[in-house]
Amino acid sequence: MLDEDRQTINKNLDKLVKHTSDIGLERIIEILKEMEVLSDEFAKPYLDTKIKANMRKVEFYLNIQRLGPAMFEKLKHAVSVCKYEDLLFILQPYKHHLHPIDERLGARPTNLPDYMNEVIPTKMYTTMDQYQDASVNFSMQAIDVKVREADQRLDLKKSKSPRYRCGSSPKGLALIINIREYQDKSHSTRKGSEHDDKNLEELFKQLGYQTEVHLDLDKREFMDVIKMFAANPKHFQVHTCMVAIMCHGQMEKNDDEDSVTTVFITTDGKTIPYTWVVHQFDAVNCRGLINKPKVFFFQACRGESKATVQRLGYGLMADHTEADGMGNLPIPVRKLSDVLIAHAAPRGYIAMRDVNKGSWFIQKIVEVFMNKAHNTHVLSMLQEVDVVLSRSITSDCLSQTVCIEQFGFNHKLYLSPGLYD
């Protein structure tokens, strides 16, 4: 490690230890191992809970200095992926964002789902689709979707980290639902979202998925499409599944009145609980996908709060925000597992959509996946999507953070586009 980088760590060692939580240390080490810059042997003592936490952190920051001149930059990258703003600011105080800021003029929020019965402040119950920046950045280019093909099947590569099989032809079935137009005047047209379903359809096809697209569904049609897709017998013959849903959403109270959940708003203004959609793909309703990875992409807001950034003399620093009946199955299985869900925003926050080019979230998924799917697993790509989004702001400093949820998604999913069994 360079002398100036060593000095940065040693001078701020107390601060680094203070702002690194036990889970944070484990997460940073996990990312560095995925980047193949830390060996299991090197990492082992810093994950040993028998050793006092502060001692492990001190030793980690001291010993990591011995791992070559590029290690400091790799450490900052791992911290950035983990979204540990305090640590990143300590390591690079005058260049808090590692890349140029991508200002998005002409972006507006959309709405979407929340998670299983989480309590949210009352002010987040209503939808947020009123904000619209008057200017539009016409310099943004349309995405030319070209997926880079893999040269090896990484899903079959021997590794200590378990991997999902992904070699069937097609790789799996993919479902895209986009609700752009609304029959009732209380919900605005989701301008720009037509680019999202077209780009996603092309991405999924080039990744090797048999894809179906449905637009502007009412409640009955929405539920029928989900049920029919989940019940498709072709799921038994393929290795994976992808689902993308883009529409307005809002928070609704549950029956107990103490918690709320997100619902999708269909084109007729009616609502469908988010949890209902997820459970159509559990082990009871979708046997063809038992023990197979199911990846969901949800584009919309999950409340009305706006994630902002503050302009400082040396760049941008993000605000510090806190978010706190199986039948006769052949083998014992969990009812809901192998599920990975990527939300465009954390619960309670809006997500941005450019009225000319589509949503930020979907744009960056397409760009990252088409360039990285040949050698990067899905969870890591979604983390990179969040890193890229962290550089995007509107003209009045609104930003966006991806929220990733996992239910028993315990293997790495390499898509290996272009390669099959």
Looking at 301, 343, 374, 377, which residue is catalytic?
Answer: 301
The verdict on whether 248 is a catalytic residue reads yes
Residue from 96, 195, 214, 248 carrying the catalytic annotation: 248
Q: Identify which has the larger pLDDT, 171 or 354.
A: 171
The question of whether 301 is a catalytic residue gets the answer: yes
For the stretch 105-152, pLDDT in tens is 444 444 433 333 333 332 222 223 333 222 223 334 578 999 999 999
> Above 90 in pLDDT, residue 294?
yes
How many C-alpha atoms does 124 have within 13 Å on its Cβ side?
25
Residue 255's pLDDT band, with cuts at 50, 70 and 90, is low
Pairing relation of β-strands 172-178 and 240-246? parallel
pLDDT above 70 coverage of the chain, percent: 78
pLDDT tens per residue across span 367-413:
999 999 999 999 999 999 998 888 776 666 667 788 899 999 999 99
pLDDT at 95 over 60: no
Mean pLDDT of the chain: 79
Tell me which of 55-64, 115-124, 232-241 is least confident: 115-124
Q: What is the CATH number of domain 102-407?
A: 3.40.50.1460
Domains of the chain, by residue range, sit at 3-91, 102-407
pTM summary value: 0.65
Q: What is the pLDDT of residue 256?
A: 60
State yes or no: pLDDT of 82 exceeds 70.
yes
Dist CA 345 CA 359 (whole Å): 12
Distance CA 178, CA 267 (A): 10
